[in-house]
Structure 1
Amino acid sequence: MLNTLLPILLFAALALAVIGAGKRFLMWRRGRPAQVDWLGGLLAMPRRYMVDLHHVVARDKYIANTHVATAGGFVLAAVLAILVHGFGLHSRLLGFALLAATALMFVGALFVAKRRLDPPSRLSKGPWMRLPKSLLMFAASFFIATLPVAGIVSADSGGWVLALLLSVGVAWGVSELFFGMTWGGPMKHAFAGALHLAWHRRAERFAGGRSTGLKALDLDNRNAPLGVEKPTDFTWNQLLGFDACVQCGKCEAACPAYAAGQPLNPKKLIQDMVVGLAGGTDAKFAGSPYPGKPIGEHSGGPHLPIVNLNGKALVDAETLWSCTTCRACVEECPMMIEHVDAIVDMRRHLTLEKGATPNKGAEVLDNLIATDNPGGFAPGGRLNWAADLNLALMSDKQSVEVLFWVGDGAFDMRNQRTLRAFVKVLKAANVDFAVLGLEERDSGDVARRLGDEATFQLLAKRNIATLAQYQFRTIVTCDPHSFHVLKNEYGELGGHYQVLHHSTYMEQLISAQKLTLGRHKGGSVTYHDPCYLGRYNGEYEAPRAVLKAIGIEVREMERSAFRSRCCGGGGGAPITDIPGKQRIPDMRMADIKETAAEVVAVGCPQCTAMLEGVVGQRPEVKDIAELVADVLIEGVVEAKPPVPAKPELAEVH
């Protein structure tokens, strides 16, 4: 009886899975075209799964080991089950191999079940609560059904009652794990996730790469949408990526806006995009809602606006404007989904098509167009902070080792202290440097994160044209946001430069013994990692090396390096100013206070502003450049710049 029923159940489930896969693929393909390496992506997928994805999963050893046993056991068991029970290859060797695979899967499923006994709040419940039972049923039923194949029991043992019971178990297991994989069950993430890794929109992220720059809009193509209005405006492989979500909630746990009680939950946002593509409501979502927004009140469809400014739709606009673009969600996601890309794409539509940037957003964007800086300050005052420093101008020197990109901190009295401190460091090391002065404009970071791609490209192209007039080896800046944009986002527009954050450059100067430093006389310091230096660009060590070089005790926060908590200043968040239950910088200051450090070292003007804006007693906030300048012993170093990264000067275009 089993020999008849098992092949029928297996091949019926496989046939339904293939049909479901086709329907799912056609649903993804409703999105806009995207260039992918079809065959190369599929060939690279196993390595991306076993290396890149598991590099993220392995941060949680319990889940990593569970996943290896469960997923590895299932894949092996599924292949062997089809050979043994589908095609009737009743070899004892294959039988024992299938027994081993199902036993491995069963052990993994037990750990999944244990995890679900008292699941963390970030995990989605609902259908996911039945998954351990389905995994256990699949493994147990195929294990028992394979015992006769391995010669452990007689093929006639148990009779038709056992055969019927095993058939029910097999039907349950294969329905969930084959049929449900492509028709929207909890196992959907396995099917969509594999293809998402193959045709990821940022293939550069794999094999140790890094890709964090936003993709440029083709503003010359009148047929291309300005951002994303409806689900089908996303590229098809973005839609595929949304479907890959495993609803683990690691993005939710890492999101500073969610923790602050603002109406954003990155996990639910991704699931809302899945709902929008298929059509329907969010009533069946079994995870945490957006703070302050009940589940069941939003709905959408593939060709309906995601955000309706005049009423309920799939997502409320304030959900999108709550994001600080810190990439904590992306960094934690085991499926390597790009949440920030999606949010900025939707912001672009609201800003460019609807003119609906909230609070001071429109004013800031107008300032950027009128005065080349977000604060609306008179451009002629850009160099007032350095009136007594006798800084060299690029227009006079034409060719230098280092172009010091000042940024819009030039208009902020607090940040001017950082700029002056860094100039002091550069002069102490006898660095050949100059500034653009009045020729420098805003880098465009704020405009781009607020969705105003047109203003960003206007500013970027003007800056690129200015930089093309001069020769320099390296751009150095104290602002991680300018650093990121110049390094990673100007390239698509023709601006390719070697760019360094000032902490990295100071570490190079110290390593090359171009600075003579005394010992810091203060107590302890904790270092706050800026999102746009750390998660965006992977620079964690240089700032710490600089602090170590000045002899100050560094006390790490629990949330540091790639898990650092955002200060709340990125992505235009202070401008859109969406209210929550608490302020993100207040939460970060609580992290800082736990270290009992006397000073918090920063490397970003926005981090400085946000942390110094915390009221009440707190540690002193000082930029790394200020800490280095405090211990400089001047007049000792040789008049020689650090060894350049390039062999000779070359005109940069």
Structure 2
Amino acid sequence: MLTIVLPILIFAALGLTLIGAFRRIHLWRQGRPSRVDLLGGLLAMPKRYMNDLHHVVARDRYMANTHVATAGGFVLAAVLAILVHGVGVHQRVLTYALLCATALMGVGALFVFKRRLNPPSRLSKGPWMRLPKSLLVFAASFFILTLPVAGILPEGFGGWSLAALLGVGVVWGVGELFFGMTWGGPMKHAFAGALHLAWHRRPERFGGGRSTGLKALDLTDRRAPLGVEKPEDFTWNQLLGFDACVQCGKCEAACPAFAAGQPLNPKKLIQDMVVGMAGGTDAHFAGSPYPGKPLGEHGGTAHQPIVNGLVDADTLWSCTTCRACVEECPMMIEHVDAIVDMRRFLTLEKGATPNTGAQVLDNLIATDNPGGFAPGGRMNWAADLNLPLMRDKRSAHVLFWVGDGAFDMRNQRTLRAFVSVLKAAGVDFAVLGLEERDSGDVARRLGDEATFQALATRNIQTLAQYAFSCIVTCDPHSFHVLKNEYGALGGDYRVQHHSTYMAELIEGGLLELKPDTGGRVTYHDPCYLGRYNGEYEAPRQVLRALGLEVQEMQRSGFRSRCCGGGGGAPITDIPGTQRIPDMRMADIRETGVERVAVGCPQCTAMLEGVVAPRPQIKDLAELVADALVERATAPGLAKHNTQEVVA
């Protein structure tokens, strides 16, 4: 009987899966158009899955091996089950291959089952708790059904009772793993995830690439929405990306705002977008809610506003844009893009930037700096330094981008220290002086794309008047914007962070340093230098050159905890149960060091805002400047050597 029923069950499930696929695609197509390479993406998908996705998954060795066994076994078993039991191809090699595939899948499913016995809090429960059982039932049913076909057991083994039991197992397993792949359930991530990898919003991320700059809005297109108001305002492949979420909660565990008790959980935010795409409420969400916000109170459809329907505004404003969620996501979902897209609508269309956000944006428009300081005071910090100006020199090897640390007394010390380093190395440099304006980073992260583009355009016009080999800055936020986001507006430059530049000067022998006798130090990785731009080694190279022992924090490198200063978070100031910089200082105290090396003015401000007693905060430029040995060097020779090393 099973030989008749089994093909019917398999092909019925495949038919329903195909219908579900068209339904799922229709949901994604509610989004705005997005140009992708459909065929090229599909052809590239297997490599992206095996290399890029598993590069992230492999950070958790247990789950990486489990996923290889379970997913690999399932894909192979499903294809072979269709051939052997659906089509009736009973070749010995295929039947034995099916036995091996189901056995491999079963072993992987056992490890999934073990993980689910006492799952970490970040994992969603609910339907996900039945997934290991479904995997085991599918593997066991087809393994036993294949034994007679392979000639290992006689035909009709076990009688009607076993046949009935196996039939139930096939219906359960095939229903969950085939039908559920496109109609909803834990296996939905397999179908959506594969296509998400094929038609990713940022294909340049694959193959070891890096893509972190925000996408520019076309402000001249009156038909395009200014940001995202409703789920349908996302591009269709963004909606596809949300649907690929496996609810592993790695983003939740990495999010500094969630840890601080602010009303943000990146995993739930993505699931809320899925709810909005299909229509419904968050009542059935089986993971951690937003801190302080119970489940069941939010819902919506693809055609209704997101804010105060699916989510509250303070959820969006809690984000520090640190990209910890994106870095940890095994499905390579772009959480930060989505958050900033929704912020853009609130800022540009509603004018609803919270707390001092509106004032900061007004200051940027009126004074070209977020603090509202008189523009004429931008160079007061360097009144006694006799800095060369670009408008006088017209060309220089290095254009030193000062940034808005120029208006902050604490960060003026960092700027002065770096100037002393440049002079000690004999670098041919100049500054823009009063011609420099804010880079636009804060405006863009707060969603004010218009102000960002206005500031960027004016800076690009200014820079076009001068000749220079590279831009160097002490601010990772300015570094990121100039390097990765000005290009879309016509400003393509070679940009370096001061840590990288100082490392090159030291390596080239252009700085004579006396050993720092301070012993151990820890280094705090700025998000916009590390996760955004992949620079982790140069700052540590500088510290080692000073003779310092770097004591790493538990969360360092690509898993460094955000200081809480990015994304306009100090401006929007959404309350939580604790402060993010206090959590980071707790990480620092665990190392037992007395000094913390930093490479970002915002990190300096946030960490120095922690109540004493606490370790001393020193910028890398200050540490290098303190270690300089004065020497007499012919200026012309020094400049020549510097260009050889750094060009």
Name the TM-score class by shorter chain: over 0.9
The answer to whether structure 1 residue 373 and structure 2 residue 369 are counterparts is yes
The question of whether the paired residues in 1 share the 8 Å contact of 2:508 and 2:645 is answered with no
The question of whether the paired residues in 2 share the 8 Å contact of 1:516 and 1:636 is answered with no
Q: Show the counterpart of 1:160.
A: 160
1:636 CA displacement: 5.2
Code of the residue aligned with 2:47 in structure 1: it is R
Give, in whole Å, the separation in 1 of the partners of 2:593 and 2:549. 9
Q: Show the counterpart of 1:78.
A: 78
Q: CA RMSD in A?
A: 0.9
- Mapping for residues 468-487 of structure 1, pairs under 5 Å: 468-487=464-483
The answer to whether structure 1 residue 618 and structure 2 residue 614 are counterparts is yes
Give, in whole Å, the separation in 2 of the partners of 1:105 and 1:290. 35
Q: How has the CA–CA distance of structure 1 residues 21 and 644 changed in structure 2, closer, same or farther, with 3 Å as cutoff?
A: farther
Q: Show the counterpart of 1:105.
A: 105
The question of whether the paired residues in 2 share the 8 Å contact of 1:473 and 1:644 is answered with no
Give, in whole Å, the separation in 2 of the partners of 1:385 and 1:144. 79
The question of whether the paired residues in 2 share the 8 Å contact of 1:262 and 1:578 is answered with yes
Q: Show the counterpart of 2:245.
A: 245
Give, in whole Å, the separation in 2 of the partners of 1:646 and 1:41. 38
Give, in whole Å, the separation in 1 of the partners of 2:96 and 2:159. 22
Q: Show the counterpart of 2:350.
A: 354
Q: Show the counterpart of 1:650.
A: none
1:646 CA displacement: 8.8
Q: Show the counterpart of 1:178.
A: 178
1:523 CA displacement: 2.6
Q: Which of 408, 422, 443 is residue 447 of structure 1 equivalent to?
A: 443
Q: Secondary structure at the match of 1:108?
A: helix
Q: How has the CA–CA distance of structure 1 residues 568 and 353 changed in structure 2, closer, same or farther, with 3 Å as cutoff?
A: same
Give, in whole Å, the separation in 2 of the partners of 1:9 and 1:632. 77
Q: Show the counterpart of 1:546.
A: 542
Give, in whole Å, the separation in 1 of the partners of 2:470 and 2:77. 55
Code of the residue aligned with 1:510 in structure 2: it is I
Structure 2 residue runs of 5 or longer lacking an equivalent are none
Code of the residue aligned with 1:46 in structure 2: it is P
Q: Secondary structure at the match of 2:482?
A: helix
User: Cα deviations across residues 41-98 of structure 1 (Å, max 9, x unaligned)?
Assistant: 0000000000000000000000000000000000000000001001000111111100
The question of whether the paired residues in 1 share the 8 Å contact of 2:504 and 2:646 is answered with no
The question of whether the paired residues in 2 share the 8 Å contact of 1:473 and 1:646 is answered with no
Q: Show the counterpart of 1:194.
A: 194
Q: Show the counterpart of 2:300.
A: 300
Q: Show the counterpart of 2:512.
A: 516
1:634 CA displacement: 2.0
Give, in whole Å, the separation in 2 of the partners of 1:508 and 1:155. 74
Q: Which moved more, 1:39-48 or 1:1-10?
A: 1-10
Give, in whole Å, the separation in 2 of the partners of 1:522 and 1:58. 37
Give, in whole Å, the separation in 1 of the partners of 2:475 and 2:37. 36
Q: Show the counterpart of 2:360.
A: 364
1:641 CA displacement: 3.9
Code of the residue aligned with 2:14 in structure 1: it is L
The answer to whether structure 1 residue 530 and structure 2 residue 555 are counterparts is no
Give, in whole Å, the separation in 1 of the partners of 2:253 and 2:76. 33
Q: Show the counterpart of 1:330.
A: 326
Give, in whole Å, the separation in 2 of the partners of 1:473 and 1:148. 73
Q: Show the counterpart of 2:141.
A: 141
User: Cα deviations across residues 176-228 of structure 1 (Å, max 9, x unaligned)?
Assistant: 00000100111000100000000000000000000000000000000000000
Structure 1 residue runs of 5 or longer lacking an equivalent are 648-653
Q: Secondary structure at the match of 1:600?
A: strand
Give, in whole Å, the separation in 2 of the partners of 1:641 and 1:409. 29
The question of whether the paired residues in 1 share the 8 Å contact of 2:24 and 2:182 is answered with yes
Q: Show the counterpart of 1:456.
A: 452
Q: Which of 418, 421, 428 is residue 425 of structure 1 equivalent to?
A: 421
The question of whether the paired residues in 2 share the 8 Å contact of 1:523 and 1:598 is answered with no
Q: Which of 585, 609, 631 is residue 589 of structure 1 equivalent to?
A: 585
Give, in whole Å, the separation in 2 of the partners of 1:480 and 1:38. 36
User: Cα deviations across residues 471-501 of structure 1 (Å, max 9, x unaligned)?
Assistant: 0000000000000000000000000000000
1:121 CA displacement: 0.3
Give, in whole Å, the separation in 1 of the partners of 2:6 and 2:394. 78
1:645 CA displacement: 8.0
1:161 CA displacement: 2.0
Code of the residue aligned with 1:160 in structure 2: it is W
Aligned residue pairs: how many? 643
1:635 CA displacement: 1.6
Q: Secondary structure at the match of 2:399?
A: strand
Give, in whole Å, the separation in 2 of the partners of 1:6 and 1:430. 80
The question of whether the paired residues in 1 share the 8 Å contact of 2:523 and 2:540 is answered with yes
Q: Show the counterpart of 1:396.
A: 392
Q: Secondary structure at the match of 1:323?
A: coil
Give, in whole Å, the separation in 2 of the partners of 1:586 and 1:177. 45
Code of the residue aligned with 2:553 in structure 1: it is M
User: Cα deviations across residues 597-616 of structure 1 (Å, max 9, x unaligned)?
Assistant: 11000000000000000002
The answer to whether structure 1 residue 572 and structure 2 residue 568 are counterparts is yes
Q: TM-score, with normalisation over the residues of structure 1?
A: 0.98
Q: TM-score, with normalisation over the residues of structure 2?
A: 0.99
Give, in whole Å, the separation in 1 of the partners of 2:28 and 2:199. 12
Q: Secondary structure at the match of 1:246?
A: coil
Code of the residue aligned with 1:169 in structure 2: it is G
Give, in whole Å, the separation in 2 of the partners of 1:642 and 1:45. 45
Q: Which moved more, 1:555-564 or 1:520-529?
A: 520-529
Q: Show the counterpart of 2:262.
A: 262
Give, in whole Å, the separation in 1 of the partners of 2:484 and 2:645. 18
The answer to whether structure 1 residue 66 and structure 2 residue 66 are counterparts is yes
Q: Secondary structure at the match of 1:403?
A: strand
Q: Show the counterpart of 1:651.
A: none
User: Cα deviations across residues 360-411 of structure 1 (Å, max 9, x unaligned)?
Assistant: 0000000000000000000000000000001000000011100000000000
Q: Show the counterpart of 2:12.
A: 12
Q: Which of 484, 490, 496 is residue 494 of structure 1 equivalent to?
A: 490
Give, in whole Å, the separation in 2 of the partners of 1:618 and 1:331. 29
Identical aligned pairs, as a percentage? 81
Give, in whole Å, the separation in 2 of the partners of 1:103 and 1:55. 25
The question of whether the paired residues in 1 share the 8 Å contact of 2:245 and 2:270 is answered with yes
- Mapping for residues 216-231 of structure 1, pairs under 5 Å: 216-231=216-231
1:644 CA displacement: 5.0
Give structure 1 regions of 4+ aligned residues with deviation exceeding 4 angstroms. 643-647
- Mapping for residues 267-278 of structure 1, pairs under 5 Å: 267-278=267-278
Q: How has the CA–CA distance of structure 1 residues 626 and 376 changed in structure 2, closer, same or farther, with 3 Å as cutoff?
A: same
1:642 CA displacement: 2.6
Q: Which of 307, 314, 324 is residue 310 of structure 2 equivalent to?
A: 314
1:148 CA displacement: 1.1
User: Cα deviations across residues 102-138 of structure 1 (Å, max 9, x unaligned)?
Assistant: 0000000000000000000000000000000000000
- Mapping for residues 23-62 of structure 1, pairs under 5 Å: 23-62=23-62
User: Cα deviations across residues 433-473 of structure 1 (Å, max 9, x unaligned)?
Assistant: 00000000000000000000000000000000000000000
Give, in whole Å, the separation in 2 of the partners of 1:35 and 1:642. 44
1:6 CA displacement: 1.1
Q: Show the counterpart of 1:465.
A: 461
The question of whether the paired residues in 1 share the 8 Å contact of 2:327 and 2:558 is answered with yes
Q: Secondary structure at the match of 2:400?
A: strand
The question of whether the paired residues in 2 share the 8 Å contact of 1:250 and 1:329 is answered with yes
